[in-house]
């Protein structure tokens, strides 16, 4: 029988990522010990929390990979839990390089200590498809190999979890939240902490606290883009975002009709007053096409006129398509589908945004 090399076991363990944190188990100091007795390899693992939702996957990954080594006949995985001190050290390892940086709300704060660009997607009124645009834009940027996070700041009307098809209860490590994921998109939302039908009945201070916690206490990766799905209008949350992330950009979503584009213009004025830059305008539900003929149900060119009046770029228009709505309802963003014609609406917008020099 071949002698099992312990170094080889650690080498294999170093290739297995924690499913939530997406970093090797060895790098996260989750491997307590490796013991070898004959053909049996016993691996001790320290989970971040006792109720780790993915402990089964960790066990299966270790068993599968270690079993491939020469001489291994049996793999035993001994699951334990990190101590408070170990969790603090883990948080410092994951979060420490930005812990001492200026926080949001200070003059020195950049566009998120964890993101190269922060884009707050806004609308003047509800019902214009802002959240669908946000989710599909995140999906499109991700498919272009950018690291993307989505912060669902629409606390009262959260819909990002459903559109992106993400559900579950986020793990908390030393008072820091591990965002959930849809493929390579990190997501945080009030919808992960409440039932979808449960109302949020909060006043301004509670909203302010929740949004700041989502920004500062979430274990975001180093992101290329953080997209923030703002609630409609210019209320408390929009003001909180402008204070917490003073270098954020505002992306305005509107439909062509005047009542939508005019109210969207107020959002842009708010951005001006709070010193945020307006990235541009996207017109959603621009037209309905049947048999090659376009029907401009909500009017025509409202988004273009708004962009012209604001002196900002008109980034693109998205038609009314049943497939886009169905994909959002089913948690499968159309930007990730094989329907290239529809996916391209969002991919082209994503490319335009990514090409903006900051």
Q: Which domains does the chain have, with CATH numbers?
A: 6-82 (3.30.300.130), 115-354 (3.40.50.300)
CA distance 135 to 115: 17
Confidence band for 100, pLDDT divided at 50, 70 and 90: very low
Rounded-to-integer distance, Cα 239 and Cα 189, Å: 18
Size of the chain in residues: 358
Mean pLDDT of the chain: 86
Question: What pLDDT was estimated at residue 120?
Answer: 92
Q: How confident is the model over 75-85, as a mean pLDDT?
A: 92
Quote the pLDDT of residue 232: 81
Task: Please report the DSSP string for 208-245 in residue order.
Answer: HHHHHHHHHSB----EEEEEEEPPSSSSHHHHHHHHH-
What are 310-321's pLDDT values in tens digits? 899 999 999 999
- Phi and psi torsions of 120, nearest 5°: -95, 115
Q: Which is more confident, 61 or 105?
A: 61
Has residue 198 got a pLDDT over 70?
A: no
């Amino acid at each position: 029988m071949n002698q099992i090399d312990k170094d080889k076991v650690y080498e294999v363990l170093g290739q297995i990522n924690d499913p939530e944190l997406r970093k090797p188990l060895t790098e996260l100091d989750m491997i307590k010990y490796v013991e070898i007795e004959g053909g049996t390899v016993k691996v001790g693992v320290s989970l971040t929390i006792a109720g780790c939702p993915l402990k089964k996957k960790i066990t299966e990954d270790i068993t599968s990979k270690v079993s491939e080594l020469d001489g291994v006949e049996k793999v035993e995985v001994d699951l334990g839990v990190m101590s408070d001190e170990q969790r603090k050290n883990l948080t410092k390892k994951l979060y420490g390089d930005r812990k001492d940086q200026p926080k949001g709300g200070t003059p020195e704060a950049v566009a998120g200590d964890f993101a190269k660009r922060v884009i707050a997607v806004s609308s003047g009124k509800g019902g214009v498809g802002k959240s669908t645009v946000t989710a599909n834009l995140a999906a499109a940027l991700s498919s272009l190999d950018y690291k993307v996070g989505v912060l669902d700041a629409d606390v009262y009307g959260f819909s990002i979890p459903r559109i992106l098809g993400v559900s579950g209860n986020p793990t908390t490590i030393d008072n820091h939240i591990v965002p959930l994921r849809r493929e390579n998109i990190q997501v945080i939302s009030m919808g992960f902490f409440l039932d979808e039908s449960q109302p949020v009945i909060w006043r301004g201070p509670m909203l302010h606290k929740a949004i700041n916690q989502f920004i500062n206490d979430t274990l975001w990766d180093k992101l290329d883009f953080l997209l923030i799905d703002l609630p409609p209008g210019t209320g408390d949350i929009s003001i909180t975002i402008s204070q917490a992330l003073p270098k954020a950009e505002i992306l305005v979503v509107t439909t062509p009709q005047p009542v939508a584009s005019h109210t969207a213009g107020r959002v842009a004025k708010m951005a001006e007053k709070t010193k945020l830059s307006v990235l541009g305008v996207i017109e959603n539900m621009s037209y309905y096409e049947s048999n090659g003929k376009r029907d401009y149900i909500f009017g025509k060119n409202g988004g273009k006129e708004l962009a012209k009046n604001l002196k900002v770029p008109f980034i693109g228009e998205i038609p009314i398509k049943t497939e886009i709505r169905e994909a959002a309802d089913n948690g499968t963003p159309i930007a990730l589908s094989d329907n290239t014609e529809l996916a391209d609406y969002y991919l082209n917008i994503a490319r335009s945004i990514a090409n903006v020099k900051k």
